[in-house]
Amino acid sequence: MNYTLHQLQIFLEIVEKRSITKASEALFLTQPAVSIQLKKFQDQFPLPLTEVIGRQLYVTAFGEDIAKAARRILDEVATIDYRTKEYQGKLAGKLSISVVSTGKYVMPYYLSGFVNMHPGIDFNMDVTNKQKVVRDLEENRVDFALVSVLPENLSLQQLPLLKNSLYLVGGSERERNRKGKKETIFKEQPLLFREKGSATRNAMEAFIYEKNFPVAKKIELTSNEALKQAVIAGLGYSIMPMIGIRNAVEQGDITVIPYKGLPIHTQWNIVWLTNKKLSPAAKAFIAYLEENEQAIKKKYFSWV
């Protein structure tokens, strides 16, 4: 056996992503480079690690076992690095956070000062849907999560960061050409929704249910950015958080439509499991947020 740590990292990324293309994107490598390293790694084993059926890559049972061992090896290597930095008096360790997709407009501003202050900390931010965020918390895969609606089934500690406001919006060109009163939008116009489980979708559906509006046509999109572009293109109307569309509103691409009962106000919160034993790096991050969250809000989000 003569595999390298680099090959272990690549194989682990392939196992987690179930795709050479997605693994190469995550690792900032070319697809051929990832494929070559996977082949070199595979050549050192008598049994297949992966198999391709149709166009889908699958990890074999043997491959899953090797991935578990690879994860343990890489964790131990990281521990050596962290211990070295700690002996040098530096804060070191891993920090992981799962963020709902709209949270990508918020979280980097609360992270940058801390991460730049402590270069010995390795940081991972997974931007995903609400269901996976809750699952990551539930299975203790991450230190923290950023959510606008607290999961009801988990015992959590929370630190409020920023107000989140959702407005009725439409593409400016479509809105200029729309006929009739705005009260007819929910009854006559196509409505654009996020995927099921999204906090944005839940808020929009709750508003429609409360008002007992019959929905004429429903279009579903699986990311906030896709939803924003669909609104700009004039596909229909939606209820969206201002944090993700502010630039488009200021540029005149999206029009905010005043409507009774809107905006809907929620709160961005950093949350973690109540019984989780936080690492020194995680504790330092919470202390940093408690001390600096008002200054960060004033510097970057005074418009909220």
CATH assignment at residue 137: 3.40.190.10
Say if 83 falls within a structural domain. no
Question: Residue 257 pLDDT > 90, yes or no?
Answer: yes
Q: How confident is the model at residue 59 (pLDDT cuts 50, 70, 90)?
A: very high
- pLDDT class of 112 with cuts at 50, 70, 90: very high
250/176 same-domain check: yes
Supply the pLDDT for residue 20.
92
Positions of E strands within the chain:
50-53, 56-59, 93-100, 121-128, 144-147, 156-171, 190-194, 217-221, 237-241, 254-256, 264-273
Largest CA distance in the chain: 73
For residue 265, give the 3-state DSSP assignment: strand
Query: Residue 92 pLDDT > 80, yes or no?
Result: no
In terms of domains, do 175 and 244 share one? Answer: yes
With respect to residue 82, please indicate whether it lies within any of the assigned structural domains.
no
pLDDT digits (tens, 9 = 90+) for 174-186: 999 998 888 889 9
Q: Which of 199-203, 209-213, 247-251 has the highest mean pLDDT?
A: 247-251
pLDDT confidence of 279, banded at 50, 70, 90?
confident
| Domain shared by 284 and 191, yes or no | no
Q: Positive or negative CA dihedral for 63, 65, 66, 68?
A: positive
| Residue 138 lies in domain | 91-162+267-300
Cβ contact 24:33 at 8 Å = yes
* Mean pLDDT score, 114-128: 87
Residue 89 has pLDDT above 80, yes or no: no
CA dist 34 and 212 (Å) reads 52
Residue 106's beta-bridge partner residues?
A: none
Q: Tell me the mean pLDDT in the region 259-282.
A: 93
pLDDT at 242 over 90: yes
Q: Are residues 217 and 95 located together in one domain of the fold?
A: no
Q: What is the mean pLDDT of residues 129-135?
A: 88
Q: Are residues 194 and 69 in the same domain?
A: no
Is residue 133 within 8 Å of residue 147, measured between CB atoms?
Answer: yes
The confidence band for 90, taking pLDDT boundaries of 50, 70 and 90, is low
Residues 97 and 215 reside in one and the same domain: no
**pLDDT above 80 for 12:** yes
Q: How confident is the model at residue 87, as a pLDDT? A: 57
Q: Write down the residue that tokens 């607290």 correspond to.
A: 150
How many Cα atoms are found within 13 Å in the side-chain-facing hemisphere of 160? 5
Entry pTM: 0.71
Per-residue model confidence (pLDDT) at position 86: 61
Q: Which residue has the higher pLDDT, 86 or 156?
A: 156
